[in-house]
Amino acid sequence: QVHLIQSGAEVKKVGASVKVSCKVSGYKVSEISMHWVRQTSGEGLEWMGGIDPVDGETVYAEKFQGRVTMTEDTSTDRAYMELSNLISDDTAVYYCTTKELDYWGQGTLVTVSS
Amino acid sequence: DVVMTQSPLFLPVTLGQPASISCRSSQSLVHSDGNTYLNWFQQRPGQSPRRLIYKVSNRDSGVPDRFSGSGSGTDFTLKISSVEAEDVGIYYCMQGTHWPPLTFGPGTKVDVK
């Protein structure tokens, strides 16, 4: 059984960066191909990127290319998603999830204000 | 990118009655490995999404058997044989055949009449 516990809500200014963490228990983070999905009120569920289990490479959605970085810390079994140059439309709940999307974190609300 | 559409977007239901949600993809979801990577998710109010069905018709562990998935190619259906109060929420279909990106439908909101 995989459990994913995310960091708490964040409030950021336009132009800033945010880094959301996802603690894995039950498995090692290196055993999970972690993906990130966000949910905005206007766009529903939106895939941001994740690890391709075939080659271990991280793949990002074109929309977020250049602004998002997904990393892992195997010493703490944590995955991270950092989004830079925030705009107000980045206000959303961000979820970590497994590649098969069968396990999800509880979500992290990121609010971007001017 | 594969575009996923759902209908209806809002589904008022009567408890104890059946319900059905349609999902269509802009291209066939049959993968070269022979599988069809079409999933269904339920999102109850205030909760994270939960996967109900994977590869068209396989129920996840703990999912009641009143939920069933069917379809092929570009047309898929999620059925609830007898709606219960706990089924209220938003239902999403999602394709994983032609990734990246993974793409979701817009969601169908299920609520009691």
Segment A58-79 mean pLDDT: 96
- In this predicted structure, the answer to whether residue A60 has a pLDDT above a threshold of 90 is yes
In this prediction, residue A56 carries a pLDDT of 86
- In this predicted structure, the answer to whether residue A53 has a pLDDT above a threshold of 90 is no
Contacts of B106 in chain A (CB under 8 A): 44
In this prediction, residue A114 carries a pLDDT of 87
Chain-chain contact of B100 with A101 (C-beta, under 8 angstroms) = no
Beta strands in B1-113 (DSSP E): 4-7, 10-13, 19-25, 38-43, 50-54, 58-59, 67-72, 75-80, 89-95, 103-104, 108-112
Query: Residues B31-46: pLDDT tens digits?
Result: 999 999 999 999 999 9
CB nearest to B101's CB, from A47, A100, A105: A47
- CB proximity list for B112: less than 8 A, separation 6 or greater: B12, B13, B14, B15, B83, B85, B88
Tally of CA atoms within 13 A in the half-sphere of B61 that contains its CB: 3
- In this predicted structure, the answer to whether residue A22 has a pLDDT above a threshold of 80 is yes
- In this predicted structure, the answer to whether residue A12 has a pLDDT above a threshold of 80 is yes
Query: Residues B49-91: pLDDT tens digits?
Result: 999 999 999 999 999 999 999 999 999 999 999 999 999 999 9
Cβ-contact A17, A72 below 8 angstroms: no
**How sure is the predictor about B21, in pLDDT bands with cuts at 50, 70 and 90?**
very high
Chain-chain contact of B54 with A104 (C-beta, under 8 angstroms) = no
The β-bridge relationship of strands A10-13 and A34-40 is unpaired
In this prediction, residue B29 carries a pLDDT of 98
- In this predicted structure, the answer to whether residue B108 has a pLDDT above a threshold of 90 is yes
- CB proximity list for A65: less than 8 A, separation 6 or greater: none
Give me A39's structure tokens.
């949910």
Sign of the CA dihedral running B91, B97, B98, B101: positive
Give me A40's structure tokens.
């905005």
Which residue of B90, B104, B109 to mutate against A (max A Cβ within 10 Å)? B104
CB nearest to A101's CB, from B39, B103, B106: B39
Q: What whole-number distance in Å separates Cα of residue B19 and Cα of residue B75?
A: 17
- In this predicted structure, the answer to whether residue A42 has a pLDDT above a threshold of 80 is no
Contacts of A46 in chain B (CB under 8 A): 104
Sheet holding B75-80, edge to edge: B4-7, B19-25, B75-80, B67-72
Cα Rg, chain B, nearest whole Å: 13
CB nearest to A44's CB, from B50, B100, B104: B104
In this prediction, residue A55 carries a pLDDT of 87
